[in-house]
A and B are shown apart, each in its own frame.
Chain A
Amino acid sequence: MDFVAYGQVIFLVVAILVVSYYLGIYMERIFLGKRSFLDRYFGPLENGLYRLMGINPRQEMDWKEYLKSFLLTNAVLGVIGFLVLYFQQSLPLNPNNVGSLPPLLDFTTVTSFLTNTNLQHYTGELQLSYFSQMGFVTFLMFTSAALGIVVAVALIRGIVNQSGTLGNFYRDFTITITRLLLPISIVEALVFVYLGVPQTFQGAVIAHTVNMGSQTIFRGPVASLEAIKFLGTNGGGYFGADSSYPFENPGPAAAYLQMITEAAIPFGLIFTYGNMARDPKHGRLLVAVTMALFLAGLAVALFAETTPNQLLMGLPINQSVGNWAGKETRFSITESTFSLILNTYTQTGGPMVMINQMSPLSVASAMFGMEVQGSPGGVGTGLMNLLIYVILAVFISGLMVGRTPEFLGKKISTGVMRYSVLFILIHPVIILAPVAISVMSGYAGFIGLPPNESFTALLYEFTSAAANNGSAFGYLLAPQNTNYFYAAEALVMLIGRFGPIIIAFAIAGVLANTKPLAQTKSAALVDDPIFAVFLFAFIIVLSALLFLPVLALGPLAGFLGG
């Protein structure tokens, strides 16, 4: 790595921290309902929406009612999404005349976008109409992001409140869209257009190229999708090649904007949490821990990608800058690698590289990010994972020093511990069980891949589905078994999304009804940098214990020459 490469990394990290700090303050203000000059513009729109919905935004909900509205919303959105996809052939805005997808793929795709995963087993430019790209993909990208964020907000309120209530679901969901996601997306989409991302409703155009050929140039409403794809850590591409496709990511300026916005809300919510808990130092320490985990993963991948590919050493190839395979020329190797790690650690999943052409060590690092899920993780769900790690770490460190484990002044009860352990166990089970079943049953028959890479591809696919990440490792599916994979992945995505969320609501409910203890010295435990170091080590050890064996069979074996 040279001087410029360090400059690129430092610039991105500083920009992400600065933007997320201020966005964190802004999110705190809107979720606390503080008055602002924006009320004059957004207030009437929001009140109109509330009136049509027939709800009172000031009515507080307990965890069960909040969860009920949350799940009901997901169910209704799923139905709308399925109808849009299922009938896309007969719906308008289909200038390229694409047909319909197989119904089971419709179902898996709905699951994928409903759960903020965005795993795609279709090629967008060939198989989706403009109606579907907007009314299905773009729409669900907003709602799945907003639904993730409200979970985090409800959990924060559970930790802070003593009233037993978590706020009003409809208000939280509405203002997340009207005051956070939509305004930023509008501005960002226009900047993307300026930088070269298309936004048109005209069909594909056939170019008659100068070398006597022809080239179909696919386009469409790309910029509006692109903005929320990153802001909401969605990651599903308009085109098959996702963020590496020049129309999705036309140059370095667009790439930096994408990377900064995809990290802004996951990191920003940690600041929001610290501020709402009236313990900003605790929030800053958590940002430091998550950023340290991210940078550790990045360091491994950067080392691997800037090293020449050993296999090609005997050939007359100049590999002085590292591994060019699966990367685009307009981005430096460092930037492409940064994108890979950021997209897996934020659960966005739309990197500007071809993941299966990265070095095995980078792949291992990327998978580690999807296993941790909280460094910083997806919008809302990342903070949720991080807070469960904090609760577990507080409990264990409390036991180690012989104090009653308490968290921000509230005693951690047996119930909370039981829920937290259950929460942590869901993730490994829904990765390892389907991988084992696929291998043992012989469903994982791959075409033309050596055994080690087949295993890595399989493990990557289910890890990505379980973490609701959505990045894909090459072309996984063996055609004869697609239905098996569609069904298995849909199930994994649903459990991976809603299992932890339901448990998090239960924890929020218990905590919201817990009366704080009288302030004691140990209450400041989570403000101690030593706790931050402990948490960092705890997260690494826990994930290593759960996942190191399978990583050793997959990418690590590949690295060692498997």
Chain B
Amino acid sequence: MSERQKLTSHLRAVVVMSLLFFVLLGFAYPGFVGVVAHGIGLGYQADGSLISQNGTVIASKFIGENFSAPYYFWPRVSSVGYNSSNGSGGSALGIATQQFYNQTKNYTEFLIRTGMVPNGTQVPANGVEPSASGFDPDISVGFADFQLTRVAFYTHLNVSYLQKLVGEYTTYPLFGFIGSTYVNVVTLDIALHNVLLSKGMIT
């Protein structure tokens, strides 16, 4: 074979190989996974773990929302404001910068002012430092506890009831050591919302 013929045969092999794998890996594989996932009963997860109420999608249990009314448990600080049209991601401020200090200081003071907590109470770092994704659906148990007094005051529910509710939406480490202990604040607040609705406290 001449050099030219050799190159032509290589080119043919490469083009055919690339196109075949383009179809196999780019389309057949994702399509296969999607079809099998729906076929073996994983459709709920595959469609985004959506939560519906009265036929309307109200949330995904994995995507944090901005519950800001005082009778809800508040989520973590989000640099995109839980607004997905802003994209996703964490804060651009390094943790050793003055801007970060100022931002954290202001929010810490706000949480203490609105928290109705005894003098000298510290805010858990989880509640004042921004998440990585901007859509963290969870808060730490410490931050949930910190908010109990305020939520109890605005909902007129007693603290022990709220503690029980928080406990229902708490996930503990897998096998006792994998992962952290965290409270899903999306599902917690939806449950809280329904309690308040049933008591006629909100409409």
Interface residues of A, Cβ cutoff 8 Å to B? 4, 7-8, 11, 49, 52-55, 68-69, 72-73, 76-77, 80, 123, 125-126, 134-136, 138-139, 142-143, 170, 173-174, 177, 182, 185-186, 189-190, 193-202, 205-211, 213, 215-219, 221, 223-225, 239-241, 244-247, 250-253, 255-256, 309, 311-312, 315-319, 321-332, 335-336, 352-354, 356-360, 448-450, 453, 456, 474-475, 558, 561
> Are B69 and A211 neighbours in the complex by a CB distance under 8 Å?
yes
Nearest CB of chain B from residue A48's CB, rounded to whole Å: 9
Say if the beta carbon of B33 comes within 8 Å of chain A: yes
> Are A241 and B65 neighbours in the complex by a CB distance under 8 Å?
no
> Are B33 and A123 neighbours in the complex by a CB distance under 8 Å?
no
Cross-chain contact of A329 among B58, B62, B76, B90 (Cβ < 8 A): B76
Chain B: interface residue total (CB-CB under 8 A): 104
Residues of A within 8 A of B96 (CB): 309, 311, 359-360, 453, 558, 561
- List residues 18-43 of chain B with CB under 8 A from any CB of chain A: 18-22, 24-27, 29-30, 32-34, 36-37, 40, 42
Cross-chain contact of A135 among B27, B131, B193 (Cβ < 8 A): B27
> Are A335 and B179 neighbours in the complex by a CB distance under 8 Å?
yes
Distance of A189 Cα from B31 Cα, bound (Å) = 12
Say if the beta carbon of B93 comes within 8 Å of chain A: yes
Interface secondary structure of B, over-half rule: mixed
Residues of B within 8 A of A322 (CB): 125
Residues of B within 8 A of A331 (CB): 179-180
> Are A329 and B131 neighbours in the complex by a CB distance under 8 Å?
yes
A316-B108, A356-B94 are known contacts. Are A240 and B179 too (CB-CB below 8 A)? Answer: no
> Are A211 and B10 neighbours in the complex by a CB distance under 8 Å?
no
Pick the most buried of A11, A123, A210, A319: most chain B CB atoms within 10 A of its CB.
A210
Closest A residue by C-beta to B180:
A332
A54-B13, A76-B15, A211-B65 are known contacts. Are A328 and B84 too (CB-CB below 8 A)? Answer: no
What are 17 A-B residue pairs whose CB atoms fall within 8 Å in the complex? A52-B16, A54-B12, A134-B26, A142-B21, A170-B17, A190-B36, A194-B42, A194-B45, A208-B57, A209-B59, A211-B193, A216-B84, A250-B62, A255-B179, A315-B104, A354-B90, A356-B93
> Are B123 and A318 neighbours in the complex by a CB distance under 8 Å?
yes
Distance of A194 Cα from B42 Cα, bound (Å) = 6
Closest B residue by C-beta to A6:
B177
Nearest CB of chain B from residue A373's CB, rounded to whole Å: 25
> Are A311 and B95 neighbours in the complex by a CB distance under 8 Å?
yes
Distance of A353 Cα from B128 Cα, bound (Å) = 16
